[in-house]
Structure 1
């Protein structure tokens, strides 16, 4: 899954990779959490003939998708992720998968490795970023929820897929990564159905990300500084006790 991520690139860098008009200034965000606003790219409405307007635009949505048919959001589970393998079948995501696919720019994401209880080891956080640096774009979905009073709220979630071997040593899921050459195809919901972009819902290449162990500062939403991404040394693994092979297994009277 993807429960926290960061976007620390400049607005100019984000606008360039997304291919959108100039973005308003925003500060680096090192600990983006569910229910907070996130920047996403969506396909622009059809342009007038001869217009040179970009075919995509940037908008803000709340991280945590609310399907349009939900009656009371307070009683509905927060949907920050959607499994890409079943998104086109689930009632919560089916309409968005067909009509409202988005891109979620990020500098990387955080994941936690939960060791077996019997190991005695603690939960370990990792900062996972592209090896080459820069911005990565996750595939996501968007829904506009209309409340009883008529107000609208744009909401979104991030699609996940089974982790590749590299990330699989930390967690069994990872965000879907959409490469720049596939941005237009992914966002084009007018001509491309879910089956036409199914090939994009795959794990990133093994050498795409690097995982850096970090402290548990990221666990608290109130912590928002660059120190969250500072590497830490992993504690030594506890060695399992080995059986004493010095004897022959028989009890001695002496």
Structure 2
């Protein structure tokens, strides 16, 4: 699952990494949330283009977006078969520039600690995305999008059981090629990122509020360790050991 991410690179750095033709100017964002605009790169007439879309995909067949569930994520394993995503999966794939993303880990007491996950070597990554056009009755057009997710790799599975799908630079052309790429070639790209790609560290719970959007959100913090009701000695006697993460389902907030 991916419900918040960061794009702190300059427009020049994004353009150099993704080779899109526009010279767009945009501010750094440190807490991008669903329903907000997100940057995408898509292929049109043989060139890569930079396009802003609203995060939360709305399929073209939806009559009333206000009554439709917010689709911020699409599971990579099933997107090609789901009515909400299969058309976009075939015809409207895109890349989403990111400096990193946030994920939440559940503690023993059920509270969730946010972590910032970023490329170990710095720089940008390309998250796999889908986009759609929705036309209102008056003829207006809204571009919307979703991020694709896959099972977490071994390095990050202790935080959450899902992670965004990352497309390596050598596969940009293949992912964006909705005319010639074969389905089996696209399926081969839907896999967890290499274990050594990312590093993760706990950050402030201020990230829980989408109104907070500043560089301080990326400052490392010590994760809060909250003891369960029983004393440590009793917990060890019960065979649970030390340093466990609770073993429960992990999700946002």
**Does TM, normalized by the shorter one, top 0.5?**
yes
Q: How does 1:28-43 map to 2 (within 5 A)?
A: 28-43=28-43
Deviations 1:197-236 (CA, angstroms, capped at 9, x unpaired): 1111100011110011001010111101001111101234
Distance 1:244 1:218, change over 3 A: closer
- Quote the residue 1:223 is aligned against: 212
- Quote the residue 2:49 is aligned against: 57
Q: How many matched pairs?
A: 234
Q: Is 1:212 equivalent to 2:226 in the alignment?
A: no
Q: How does 1:53-132 map to 2 (within 5 A)?
A: 55-115=47-107, 119-120=108-109, 122-132=111-121
Distance 1:193 1:93, change over 3 A: farther
CA shift for structure 1 position 121 = 5.4
Distance (Å, rounded) in 2 between the aligned partners of 1:74 and 1:244: 50
Q: Is 1:233 equivalent to 2:233 in the alignment?
A: no
Worse overlay, 196-205 or 234-243: 234-243
Distance (Å, rounded) in 2 between the aligned partners of 1:244 and 1:194: 50
Distance (Å, rounded) in 1 between the aligned partners of 2:235 and 2:110: 22
For the 8 Å contact 1:97–1:194, the answer to whether it is kept is no
Q: Give the secondary structure class of the aligned counterpart of 2:5.
A: strand
- Quote the residue 1:133 is aligned against: 122
CA shift for structure 1 position 193 = 3.6
Q: Is 1:191 equivalent to 2:180 in the alignment?
A: yes
Distance (Å, rounded) in 2 between the aligned partners of 1:120 and 1:18: 42
CA shift for structure 1 position 166 = 1.3
Distance (Å, rounded) in 2 between the aligned partners of 1:122 and 1:162: 22
Say what the alpha-carbon RMSD is for the aligned residues.
Answer: 1.6
Q: Give the secondary structure class of the aligned counterpart of 1:70.
A: coil
Distance (Å, rounded) in 1 between the aligned partners of 2:236 and 2:128: 54
Q: Give the secondary structure class of the aligned counterpart of 1:197.
A: helix
CA shift for structure 1 position 186 = 0.5
Where does the alignment leave 5 or more consecutive residues of structure 1 unmatched?
A: 47-54, 246-254
Give me the TM-score of the superposition, normalised by structure 1: 0.88
Distance (Å, rounded) in 2 between the aligned partners of 1:237 and 1:34: 30
Distance (Å, rounded) in 2 between the aligned partners of 1:173 and 1:8: 23
Worse overlay, 119-128 or 142-151: 119-128
Distance (Å, rounded) in 2 between the aligned partners of 1:57 and 1:2: 24
Distance (Å, rounded) in 2 between the aligned partners of 1:71 and 1:243: 54
For the 8 Å contact 1:37–1:62, the answer to whether it is kept is yes
Distance (Å, rounded) in 2 between the aligned partners of 1:159 and 1:93: 10
